[in-house]
Amino acid sequence: MTTSLDHAPAQANNLRQFLVLTLGSLGVVYGDIGTSPLYAFREALRPFSEGGVAREEVVGLISLMIWTLTMIVTCKYVLFLLRADNDGEGGTLSLLALLMKRAPRYTTAMFVAGILGAALFIGDAMITPALSVLSAVEGLKLVTPAFHDYVLPISAAIMVLLFAVQSRGTGAVSSFFGPITLIWFLVMGAAGVAHIGDDLAILSAFNPVHAVTFLWNAGLIGFIVLGAVFLTVTGAEALYADLGHFGRQPIQAAWFAVVFPALALNYLGQGAMVLSHPEAISDPFFLMFPTWALLPVVILATAATIIASQSVITGAFSLVRQAIHLGFLPRFEICYTSETQTGQIYLPLVNTFLLVGVLVLMFVFGSSESLAPAYGISITGAMLIDTILAFAFVRYLWSWSTLAATAFLLPLFLLELIFLGANLFKVHHGGYVPILFAGSVMMLMWTWRKGVRLLREKTARHEIPLDQFIAAVERKSEHAPVVVPGTAIFLTATPDTTPAVLLHNIKHNHVLHEHNVILTIKTARVPYVPEKDRYTLTKLSDRFSRLELRFGFMDDQNVSQALAQCRKGGFKFEIMTTSFYLGRRKLVADPQSGMPRWQDRLFIAMADSAIDPTDYFHLPANRVVELGEQVII
């Protein structure tokens, strides 16, 4: 088992390590936001394409984009939220786990907010690859119109290949993420610098008065345009989610030294070019480059969007694993693609789900122009959730007063609320897609939590306290079970009650092992549990012991390795004379269960899709005994 040091959040111990982490964060953390110049300004200009766009409108739009990057990414995420961590880990569910432990009064509200944020992120994991890759490949149409009919097939082929290689792990490929993304940012920044001289008036966009004036004069159109402006910060939530992978300082250094300057220069260059050449409004990003450089830039852009897609796919895998360990979803198969890095995982079911979703989006919408309106709602919604959870964090973890927390976060909340309202205008143009995705994922999480609770309530009615059971079976009588040599380990979620599989074993086999261990596996609301805190062994009698194994929600819940550690700590057993007893339940829907019939069937389908506990907990397959029972829910 990897040690707690291997699980520790990334941190730099010297300059070389700091530079390596900073470079790595460019690809993983900033891959998504780094591709937004491909489409953000183009989509913001679209409402003005028919009647032409005035000079003050171009300057106002660029000002809006620069100050949106400044307020939301720089102030909220880079300078503030990166400090709000759960033992070095960030992200919506990581923060939710911490708050549910420290602020119990608002558990229900925070749970709803947390799973909504997680659901929106999963929807983003479908839309990001589809939109980014389509935007990049569409640059081929500028190389030669002959590629027009091949954009969609090429984009779909790239997606199929990308998802096909997920099972091989991202370790080897990720080593190229940082350098390629660095080149991408340098090219974007250089292109911007080359065109700022087209009209130096664009530099006035640094004055926020132009952004405010634009919104004041544009009226309803300006409000609608805000939805496209928000595309400039797509992927900002990855800053927070990947905190544990790179550490706060490398992420901050990458933003201030490379990412923010490159993005600002590129947007300024696009704006100056449109001021000087109004016909460039059709595709201001690719038209910044001379004809001879167009094909190489398209190839580089495609590589950058693949990296952005890979980053968000990996983030979805990590988020689903957290949801599984926190009890929001059933246990899906989790494959570890690296022997040393626990963060490199692959979930086959989630991978298939994302691939199907991406391909459906590509073929239904057909182009990045049609798909762009669907993008903003998931991003703004996820950011609003982060702000709400951040309010609870500073109140309960940093002990801020309500007044101070409100004064600091209310302006950000209102700003993001305005952006969300602007994006809601695009619901009928594709904005319904992330809403449907988020609603579906929330329904799955809610159904699973509710079904598990009802199942526990039903089984609890027939449970026998463990101490009473031990006293009964150890009492000498002619009906006492036969004692056989060896150790039996019974897995259960309720350590104080007798496991149903233990009762069934005595009822049907009439035997009791010489040593019996009641094993409970608990997930702590922290990312990782140190090995010294991994287990607690309590002797209940000469034949019975209670063992509790604790894992963090980012840990690999490998029971076999944890038991090997227990042996070093004095827990005596031989694996070849040990049997693991698991209960297998056949669920039957009951209209009176407390859930509607459709939800009963959904819960049963989710339970049936869960991976076998033997595989999930890495138990030795040849030592596992399963006993089944039928449960009406």
Judged against a pLDDT cut of 70, whether residue 393 lies above it is answered with yes
Specify the 3-state DSSP secondary structure of 554: coil
With a pLDDT cut of 90, the percent of the chain lying above it is 31
State the SS3 of 456-476.
HHHHHCCCCEHHHHHHHHCCC
Nearest to 331 by CA among 519, 110, 596, 557: 557
Q: Which helix (H) or strand (E) holds 607?
A: helix 597-609
Nearest to 544 by CA among 488, 476, 462: 488
CA separation for the pair 445, 531 (Å, rounded): 30
Let me know: does 626 contact 582? Beta carbons within 8 Å: yes
pLDDT tens digits for 83-121?
888 777 778 888 888 887 776 666 777 888 888 888 888
For range 521-531, the mean pLDDT: 86
Judged against a pLDDT cut of 70, whether residue 268 lies above it is answered with yes
Let me know: does 345 contact 337? Beta carbons within 8 Å: yes
Pairwise pLDDT comparison (344 vs 17), residue with the higher score: 17
Q: What is the DSSP string of 132-172?
A: HHHHHHTTHHHH-GGGGGGHHHHHHHHHHHHHHTGGG-SHH
Q: Which residues pair with 626 in a beta bridge?
A: 582
Nearest to 585 by CA among 560, 562, 612: 612
Q: What is the DSSP string of 392-436?
A: HHHHHTS---HHHHHHHHHHHHHHHHHHHHHHHTTGGGTTHHHHH
pLDDT tens digits for 547-564?
999 998 888 889 988 988
Nearest to 229 by CA among 431, 37, 34, 432: 37
For range 278-302, the mean pLDDT: 91
Judged against a pLDDT cut of 50, whether residue 3 lies above it is answered with no
pLDDT tens digits for 198-251?
999 999 999 999 999 998 888 778 888 888 888 899 878 777 877 777 888 899
For range 5-28, the mean pLDDT: 72
* Alpha carbon distances (Å) from 235 to 41, 247, 308, 315, 598: 16, 17, 9, 11, 36
67 phi and psi angles, rounded to 5 deg = -75, -25
Q: Please, what is the average pLDDT of the chain? A: 85
Nearest to 593 by CA among 419, 447, 490, 392: 447
- pLDDT at residue 5, rounded to an integer: 36
pLDDT tens digits for 410-441?
999 999 998 888 888 878 877 788 888 888 98
Helices (H) and strands (E) in the chain, counts: 27, 8
CA separation for the pair 594, 234 (Å, rounded): 40
Per-residue pLDDT band at 626 (split at 50, 70, 90): confident
- pLDDT at residue 104, rounded to an integer: 64
| Selection from 55-64, 380-389, 506-515, 571-580 with the highest mean pLDDT | 55-64
**Tell me, what DSSP letter sits at residue 14?**
S
370 phi and psi angles, rounded to 5 deg = -75, -30
336 phi and psi angles, rounded to 5 deg = -95, 120
Q: pTM for the full model?
A: 0.81
Nearest to 389 by CA among 90, 92, 82: 92
For range 6-19, the mean pLDDT: 66
Judged against a pLDDT cut of 50, whether residue 73 lies above it is answered with yes
Q: What angle, rounded to 10 degrees, do the helices at 92-102 and 376-396 form?
A: 30
Per-residue pLDDT band at 373 (split at 50, 70, 90): confident
For range 9-22, the mean pLDDT: 75
Return the structure tokens found at 477: 């009588």
Let me know: does 368 contact 135? Beta carbons within 8 Å: yes
Per-residue pLDDT band at 622 (split at 50, 70, 90): confident
Our CA dihedral for 217, 220, 224, 230, rounded to 10 degrees, sits at 40
* Alpha carbon distances (Å) from 347 to 171, 175, 315: 16, 21, 12
Return the structure tokens found at 630: 């039928």
Our CA dihedral for 109, 110, 112, 118, rounded to 10 degrees, sits at 170
pLDDT tens digits for 578-606?
899 998 888 887 777 678 888 888 999 99
Other CB atoms within a 10 A radius of the CB of residue 370 amount to: 15
- pLDDT at residue 342, rounded to an integer: 54
Let me know: does 544 contact 506? Beta carbons within 8 Å: no
Let me know: does 38 contact 202? Beta carbons within 8 Å: no
CA separation for the pair 38, 44 (Å, rounded): 12
CA separation for the pair 375, 628 (Å, rounded): 46
Judged against a pLDDT cut of 70, whether residue 10 lies above it is answered with no
Per-residue pLDDT band at 290 (split at 50, 70, 90): very high
Longest dimension (CA), the chain: 99
- pLDDT at residue 41, rounded to an integer: 93
The contacts of residue 351 (CB under 8 Å, 6+ apart) are 163, 166, 167, 313, 317
Amino acid at 73: V
Per-residue pLDDT band at 621 (split at 50, 70, 90): confident
pLDDT tens digits for 160-195?
998 988 887 655 556 678 899 999 999 999 999 999
Amino acid at 120: L
